[in-house]
Amino acid sequence: MTSASVKLAVQPAAIAEPIHKSDSVKPGTLFKAVSTGAVYTPRFTPETAKLEWLSCGEYALEAGAKTDVLSKANDETLLFMWKGSVEVSVGGKTYSLAAYDTIYIPRGAEFQISNSTSEPARVIECSATAENVHPVHYSRFAEYSKREDRIRHLAGKDVFMMFDVPEAADKLIAGYTFFQSYQRSWPPHNHTDQEETYIFIKGHGAMEVYESPEKMCFVTSVNEGDLVTIPMMNYHPVFSQESPLEFIWCIAGARYWVGDKNKDFMDGKGDSITT
């Protein structure tokens, strides 16, 4: 088991017969190359992203691979099934994650990710520091994407609330946003009490992150696999181009979604919104 850092399952190395042996000289030993089959790549931490609480990483699992038993002693965690499918064991139960399914893992809980299929799989992980332990929550996209209480319809885009305020957590809420072609976020908005990341999982587009129009920082192009961090008080509009654009959004901080708190956002009113 690991605590804050992640340790992945490693296959035992095959050990050859000693290359040379005598009573006075210890033999050399050949260790054959091995592959873990499961690789975790950190994408950012609060320190590297100028954030307070939020971290992000990505698991890549080859066919038949699994991680070691993992645990984050101080963080609550959300896993997002990006490509392929996996099983996640946590709290004595195993959950099968298909495309875009999510699962919330409580602070300090042990979990393991397994890929029993013949295809590679990729899982996005977002975590935030937490003081309390809450129940596991498993969200099936095939179900949630058909439930109107889980969908927010905006002009040219839909938001799917995969881990929302009714689910117990210290800081995290999250979902997916699907843009149709040639759309933009409107009105631009920022947050006084939330930090956020957008993780682009399909299509390509553009994004801006800025404190004010006079201090605009352009992320001129975003493609599949890119992510953008959004510290508090930054506006963060997104633009789709000739193809639809899909991204994960994950918030740490006060637990609300902007459109549920401010109806002007749902109606596309105003030049900007601060929550």
Q: Where are the beta strands (DSSP E) in 203-272?
A: 205-210, 216-222, 227-230, 238-240, 245-253
Is 142 strand, coil or helix?
helix
Is residue 262 scored above 60 in pLDDT? yes
The token pair at 143 is 């179900």
**Calpha distance 132→114 (Å, rounded):** 27
Q: Residues 218-246: what's their mean pLDDT?
A: 90
pTM score, whole prediction: 0.85
Segments making up each domain of the chain, as ranges: 38-133, 142-258
Going across the sheet that includes 238-240, the strands are 216-222, 205-210, 238-240
Provide the 10 A C-beta neighbour count for residue 37: 19
The token pair at 93 is 């139960």
Q: Which amino acid makes up residue 249?
A: W
For 159-199, write each residue's pLDDT tens digit.
999 999 999 999 999 999 999 999 998 888 888 999 999 99
Is 215 strand, coil or helix?
helix
Confidence of residue 30 (pLDDT cuts 50, 70, 90): low
142-258 and 38-133 share a CATH fold = yes
* Superfamily of segment(s) 142-258: Jelly Rolls (2.60.120.10)
Fold of 38-133: Jelly Rolls (2.60.120)
